[in-house]
Amino acid sequence: MIGRAALVLFLALSSAALAVNPDEILADPAQEARARAVGRDLRCLVCQNQSIDDSDAGLARDLRIIVRERIKAGDSDSQIKDYLVGRYGDFVLLNPPFKPATWLLWLGPLVLAAIAAMVALAFYRRAGRRAPERPLSEAEKKALEALIKDQG
Amino acid sequence: MIAEIGHYALVLALFVALIQAVLPLVGAQRGDAAWMAVGSQAALALFLLVGAAFGALTYAYVVSDFSLANVAQNSHSAKPMLYKISGVWGNHEGSLLLWVTILAVFGLAVAAFGGNLPPRLKARVLSVQAMISTGFLLFILLTSNPFARLAQPPFDGNGLNPLLQDPGLAFHPPFLYLGYVGFSMAFSFAIAALIEGRVDAAWARWVRPWTLAAWCFLTLGIGLGSWWAYYELGWGGWWYWDPVENASFMPWLAGTALLHSAVVVEKRDALKTWTILLAIVTFSLSLLGTFLVRSGVITSVHSFASDPARGLFILAMLVATVGGSLVLFAVRGPALKGGGLFAPVSREGSLLLNNLLMSTAAATVLLGTLYPLFVDALGGGKVSVGPPFFNAVFVPLMVPMVLAMAVGPLLSWKRGDLAGVLMRLKLALALAAAAAALAWLVMGGQPKTLAASGGLALAAWLFVGTLVEFAGRLLLFRAPLAESWTRLRALPGAAWGMAITHASMAVLIGGITGSSAWMEEKIQVMKVGETVMLAGHEVTLTNVRDERGPNYLAQRGTFVLKKNGQTVVTLEPEKRSYRQPPRPTTETAIHTTFWGDYYTVIGDADGQGGYVVRLYFNPMVAWMWVGILMMTLGGIVSLADRRHRIGAPVRKRAAQPAAT
């Protein structure tokens, strides 16, 4: 009996619901699919690097419900995101927007790839300069033939 | 008393490490054999002392000695023994102690198995290892002492986060650290080579097995972490591009590049400077990874600043290690003579391409991981860099990589024949196209399945390409079968290793693609006796009952999975409530098949006789775990190559005259 009571108490204390809950899911599968796609790009602001779809925090649930309400109201995906950015700032977007503060972030990989390509190019050029193609000299040819004869 | 012995051993270890850092180095410079020999003895002493400290802390956890602050904060008397022991490294202080312990094991390994190393190189390697030990021991003793006592010990401990009380995660940190610390060997060899001013085939032959061993451990460690996330967190995800994951992924990427460039040094005496740089970068990323996780800088810049002693020490150590080694590299690197030449289209060229793509990938992950910190620190506000960013930049780097992975091993050294190789890969191309078409048809040809088709095509291309290369080595179907059999038996471990790891990459890509592409889910309230359909199977909730574990209470559901009325399997997921600390966890129950996992989660009761249940069909997830195991196995097979045991090629007496 005590065990049962304790269990109820603990389950009550820890009534954290996991991620997307049945009562949140929209009846229209297409709308729900949109809600999931949008949710994956939104950060649960109080969590460490989790999307609202993956989080069991209360705030994530609130945001999931907001997203679904907006979808039902006929907002487009970008309108929903704009609305949430207006409330919480860029921090809410897991996919950072392209703007001056993130130029370095988005262009960085391209710059890095370009640097890598240039390093490779310089490497092959230098190697090419260091070893000009040169035919064998007469003496070397004779030595080579002698070696081949030896083997045979 | 035992804790004090542990603390004392740690202090002694610091002094031994200082001796090991200085004497062999000076000895090597002067040519003093006795001073150089100190290195091996010191390595043994360091191992015994650090081992004693680690043993003392483990003992305190095993007997639940709550007079130690560390044990009181992180353990609990009712915890199962496995988690008492894994609790040793489940916290900041203990994990650092594990780090230095593993470092001491590697140091001892150099002393014990380095008999065929030239004495000077060995002395210098041991010295560099001891410098790293010194830094870490200082850090532990000055800022993170695991042996601090409490004046008033509590009656019981605070317990370990229940999410961490899991077999997968119990062994995840040791493997990760074996990987991180294993890369310190490559680092020490690189620094020793820079001091010596020479890198040759023999050097690469020594470095490669250590790097390979570290890489195997790290691969397995990352795999364990990912597997744990998959079955423990309860929604079937396995990779989140979380900073903590990225911290272990960056050294893996750099380490993979290092393994490949060391091949070029060994076989062709080229890319030496680059290999040295990679060794430094790989270990620096390992250090960075350790510190990113340990310093709390990831959570926020502010938590980092709130404990300035630790944070500043970490920063100083990083700057000293990375900065110091890069300065040494800048000064001595240019003196290393380049060796063999090669054309861009050649085996070496393909290995260099691997290196450039891997390095770019590692740098990109680093950029994405640290960017929010920089922006925040510079007052640019808070930005999130999440999975959408990483997927967008990472996939374009990996596609050419995988395409080249099938081609590279078929190219000959120095100058390859690309057209000829592509002719040999006709079969791979055809099967890749078939895989893409098949995936397209199976998934109903929607535009969003394009990526999945592409992923499966890549996997098929790489898998078949690897088989073609392997068959080529055996002259399969071109020579009599008897000869192929003889060749198969004579094939070196390294050739097997490469074939297995490259094929494992294909399996891994298959799994990643499949599990991201067509997952099926049922999230709903179910009453006992109800049935839902999941991926062609009937799933019935037959029972929900309460269970009592050693340190938790659980609500356990029973699902019966049926196919056409025939029972396939019974699955029993749990929702647990731990007592100390009071936290809920989900324990999923998974039925794994070749084509996918049936993944069940039981949630809260809705108060009207129903329960929130989550049922997922996650396609091809097992492929990922098999891929990671294969990858590790391939590394081990390559490690068993008898050429590693016979030892390195003998170094030539005099340095070669410079090429004219």
CB proximity B364 to A under 8 Å: yes
Average pLDDT over residues B39-44: 94
- Closest Cα partner for B199 from B272, B146, B142, B261? B272
* Alpha carbons B617 and B601: distance in angstroms, whole number: 12
The interaxial angle of helices B387-407 and A103-130, nearest 10 deg, is 20
The interaxial angle of helices B92-113 and B272-295, nearest 10 deg, is 150
* CB-based contacts of B549, cutoff 8 Å, min separation 6: B576
- Coil, helix or strand at residue B233: coil
Contact B397 A113 (CB under 8 A): yes
> In this structure, what token pair is assigned to residue B279?
């060794």
The beta-carbon neighbor of A17 closest among B299, B343, B604 is B604
- Coil, helix or strand at residue B633: helix
Contact A17 B384 (CB under 8 A): no
Residue B630 dihedral angles phi and psi, to the nearest 5°: -60, -40
CB B205, CB B238: distance < 8 Å: no
Element (H, E) at B562: strand B552-563
Residue of B nearest to A49 (CA): B242
Residue B181 pLDDT grade (very low, low, confident, very high; cuts 50, 70, 90) = very high
Using the predicted structure, report yes or no on whether residue A16 has a pLDDT greater than 60. no
The beta-carbon neighbor of A43 closest among B237, B386, B603 is B386
Q: What is the layout of strands, in order, in the sheet containing B589-592? A: B520-527, B610-619, B596-605, B589-592
The distance of Cα B159 from the centroid of its chain, to the nearest Å, equals 27
Using the predicted structure, report yes or no on whether residue A6 has a pLDDT greater than 70. no
Residue A12 pLDDT grade (very low, low, confident, very high; cuts 50, 70, 90) = very low
Contact B577 A7 (CB under 8 A): yes
Residue B25 dihedral angles phi and psi, to the nearest 5°: -65, -50
Contact A130 B338 (CB under 8 A): yes
Q: What is the DSSP string of B192-204?
A: HHHHHT---HHHH
CB B86, CB B174: distance < 8 Å: no
Residue B656 pLDDT grade (very low, low, confident, very high; cuts 50, 70, 90) = very low
pLDDT of residue A134: 63
Using the predicted structure, report yes or no on whether residue A9 has a pLDDT greater than 80. no
Contact B389 A105 (CB under 8 A): yes
- Phi-psi category of residue B246: left, alpha or beta, with phi > 0 → left and psi -120 to 50 → alpha: alpha
Average pLDDT over residues B362-378: 89
CB proximity B522 to A under 8 Å: no
- Report the amino acid identity of residue A25: I
pLDDT of residue B646: 56
Residue B576 dihedral angles phi and psi, to the nearest 5°: -110, 150
Find chain A residues with C-beta within 8 A of B383's C-beta.
Answer: 90-91, 96, 101-102, 105
Lookup result for tokens 């992180």: B74
Q: Which segment of B217-226, B299-308, B332-341, B612-621 scores lowest on mean pLDDT?
A: B299-308
Find chain B residues with C-beta within 8 A of A40's C-beta.
Answer: 387-388
Using the predicted structure, report yes or no on whether residue A103 has a pLDDT greater than 80. yes
Q: Which segment of B162-166, B190-194, B533-537 scores lowest on mean pLDDT?
A: B162-166
pLDDT of residue B476: 81
Does the CA dihedral B187-B193-B197-B199 come out positive or negative?
A: negative
Lookup result for tokens 């048809």: B441
Using the predicted structure, report yes or no on whether residue B239 has a pLDDT greater than 60. yes
**Which superfamily does A2-97 belong to?**
Cytochrome C biogenesis protein (1.10.8.640)
CB proximity B11 to A under 8 Å: no
Q: Cα torsion for B469, B473, B476, B480, to the nearest 10°?
A: 170
Contact B384 A13 (CB under 8 A): no
The beta-carbon neighbor of B299 closest among A48, A96, A119 is A48
Interface test with A, best of B298, B357, B360, B521 (most A CBs within 10 A): B360
Instruction: Dump pLDDT digits (tens) for A58-96.
Output: 888 889 999 999 998 988 988 999 999 998 888 889 888
Residue of B nearest to A121 (CA): B344
The beta-carbon neighbor of B523 closest among A20, A54, A102 is A20
- Coil, helix or strand at residue B417: coil
* Alpha carbons A29 and A34: distance in angstroms, whole number: 9
Find chain A residues with C-beta within 8 A of B268's C-beta.
Answer: none
Residue B444 pLDDT grade (very low, low, confident, very high; cuts 50, 70, 90) = confident
- In B227-286, the residues whose Cβ lies within 8 Å of chain A are 233-235, 237, 240-243
Residue B572 dihedral angles phi and psi, to the nearest 5°: -130, 80
pLDDT of residue B561: 93
Number of neighbouring beta carbons within 10 Å of residue B519? 17
* Alpha carbons B65 and B62: distance in angstroms, whole number: 8
Contact B586 A18 (CB under 8 A): yes
- In B536-565, the residues whose Cβ lies within 8 Å of chain A are 546, 548, 553, 555
* Alpha carbons A21 and A30: distance in angstroms, whole number: 17
* Alpha carbons B106 and B127: distance in angstroms, whole number: 13
Average pLDDT over residues B227-239: 84
Classify each residue of B278-290 as buried b or exposed e, where b means 16 or more C-beta atoms within 10 Å of its C-beta. bbbbbbbbbbbbb
Instruction: Dump pLDDT digits (tens) for B393-418.
Output: 999 999 999 999 999 899 888 888 88
> In this structure, what token pair is assigned to residue B216?
């195997």
Q: Which segment of B32-41, B337-346, B358-367 scores lowest on mean pLDDT?
A: B337-346
- Closest Cα partner for B10 from B177, B201, B140? B140
- Coil, helix or strand at residue B656: coil
Using the predicted structure, report yes or no on whether residue B140 has a pLDDT greater than 90. yes
pLDDT of residue A3: 40
Lookup result for tokens 């897991």: A94
The distance of Cα B365 from the centroid of its chain, to the nearest Å, equals 15
Using the predicted structure, report yes or no on whether residue B242 has a pLDDT greater than 80. yes
Output the average pLDDT for chain B: 88
pLDDT of residue A5: 41
Contact A113 B380 (CB under 8 A): no
* CB-based contacts of B111, cutoff 8 Å, min separation 6: B39, B40, B41, B43, B44, B126
Residue A7 pLDDT grade (very low, low, confident, very high; cuts 50, 70, 90) = very low
User: How many Å lie between the alpha carbon of B49 and the closest alpha carbon of chain A?
Assistant: 38
- Phi-psi category of residue B445: left, alpha or beta, with phi > 0 → left and psi -120 to 50 → alpha: left
User: How many Å lie between the alpha carbon of A25 and the closest alpha carbon of chain B?
Assistant: 8
* Alpha carbons B574 and B343: distance in angstroms, whole number: 59
* Alpha carbons B160 and B225: distance in angstroms, whole number: 17
The distance of Cα B375 from the centroid of its chain, to the nearest Å, equals 28
* CB-based contacts of A26, cutoff 8 Å, min separation 6: A32, A35, A68, A71, A72
- Coil, helix or strand at residue B566: strand
Q: What percent of chain B has pLDDT over 90?
A: 51
Contact A49 B299 (CB under 8 A): no
Using the predicted structure, report yes or no on whether residue A136 has a pLDDT greater than 80. no
Find chain A residues with C-beta within 8 A of B524's C-beta.
Answer: 22, 25
- Report the amino acid identity of residue B619: P
Residue A28 pLDDT grade (very low, low, confident, very high; cuts 50, 70, 90) = confident
Instruction: Dump pLDDT digits (tens) for B544-563.
Output: 999 998 888 999 999 999 99
Contact B356 A108 (CB under 8 A): no
Q: What is the DSSP string of B322-344?
A: IIHHHHHHHHHGGGSPP-----S
Output the average pLDDT for chain A: 79
The beta-carbon neighbor of A101 closest among B383, B546, B601 is B383
Residue B495 dihedral angles phi and psi, to the nearest 5°: -70, -45
- In B134-163, the residues whose Cβ lies within 8 Å of chain A are none
* Alpha carbons A127 and A119: distance in angstroms, whole number: 12
CA distance between the termini of chain A: 95
Q: Which segment of A42-56, B16-30, B43-57, B353-367 scores lowest on mean pLDDT?
A: A42-56
CB proximity B523 to A under 8 Å: yes
For chain A, the domains span 2-97, 101-151
CB proximity B187 to A under 8 Å: no
| Strand pairing category for B537-548 and B531-534 | antiparallel
- Closest Cα partner for B173 from B238, B210, B129, B224? B224
Average pLDDT over residues B229-243: 84
Instruction: Dump pLDDT digits (tens) for B472-510.
Output: 888 888 888 888 888 888 888 889 999 999 999 999 999
Average pLDDT over residues B572-583: 86
* Alpha carbons A45 and A38: distance in angstroms, whole number: 15
- Closest Cα partner for B504 from B359, B632, B347? B632
* Alpha carbons B129 and B50: distance in angstroms, whole number: 14
> In this structure, what token pair is assigned to residue B617?
């069909």
Contact A96 B364 (CB under 8 A): no
* Alpha carbons B28 and B249: distance in angstroms, whole number: 36
Instruction: Dump pLDDT digits (tens) for B302-312.
Output: 555 556 777 78
pLDDT of residue B531: 92
- Higher-pLDDT residue of B136 and B296 is B136
> How buried is B118 (Cβ within 10 angstroms: 0-12 exposed, 13-18 middle, 19+ buried)?
middle
Interface test with B, best of A26, A49, A52 (most B CBs within 10 A): A49
Residue of A nearest to B232 (CA): A18
- In B602-641, the residues whose Cβ lies within 8 Å of chain A are 603-605, 612, 614
Considering just the CA atoms, what is the radius of gyration of chain B in Å? 27
Instruction: Dump pLDDT digits (tens) for B300-344.
Output: 555 555 567 777 888 888 899 999 999 999 998 887 776 778 888
Residue of B nearest to A112 (CA): B360
Using the predicted structure, report yes or no on whether residue B102 has a pLDDT greater than 60. yes
The beta-carbon neighbor of A21 closest among B586, B605, B612 is B612
- Higher-pLDDT residue of B56 and A146 is B56
pLDDT of residue A139: 82
CB B273, CB B333: distance < 8 Å: yes
Residue B524 pLDDT grade (very low, low, confident, very high; cuts 50, 70, 90) = confident
User: How many Å lie between the alpha carbon of B492 and the closest alpha carbon of chain A?
Assistant: 27
Residue B657 pLDDT grade (very low, low, confident, very high; cuts 50, 70, 90) = very low
* Alpha carbons B588 and B232: distance in angstroms, whole number: 7
Using the predicted structure, report yes or no on whether residue A39 has a pLDDT greater than 50. yes
Considering just the CA atoms, what is the radius of gyration of chain A in Å? 32
- Higher-pLDDT residue of A17 and B434 is B434
- Phi-psi category of residue B510: left, alpha or beta, with phi > 0 → left and psi -120 to 50 → alpha: alpha
pLDDT of residue A18: 58
Residue B522 dihedral angles phi and psi, to the nearest 5°: -135, 110
Strand partners, B257: none
Residue B448 pLDDT grade (very low, low, confident, very high; cuts 50, 70, 90) = low
Residue B658 pLDDT grade (very low, low, confident, very high; cuts 50, 70, 90) = very low
CB pairs < 8 Å spanning A and B: 148
Contact B555 A112 (CB under 8 A): no
Find chain A residues with C-beta within 8 A of B384's C-beta.
Answer: 43, 49, 90-94, 96
Using the predicted structure, report yes or no on whether residue B462 has a pLDDT greater than 90. yes
* Alpha carbons B582 and B158: distance in angstroms, whole number: 10
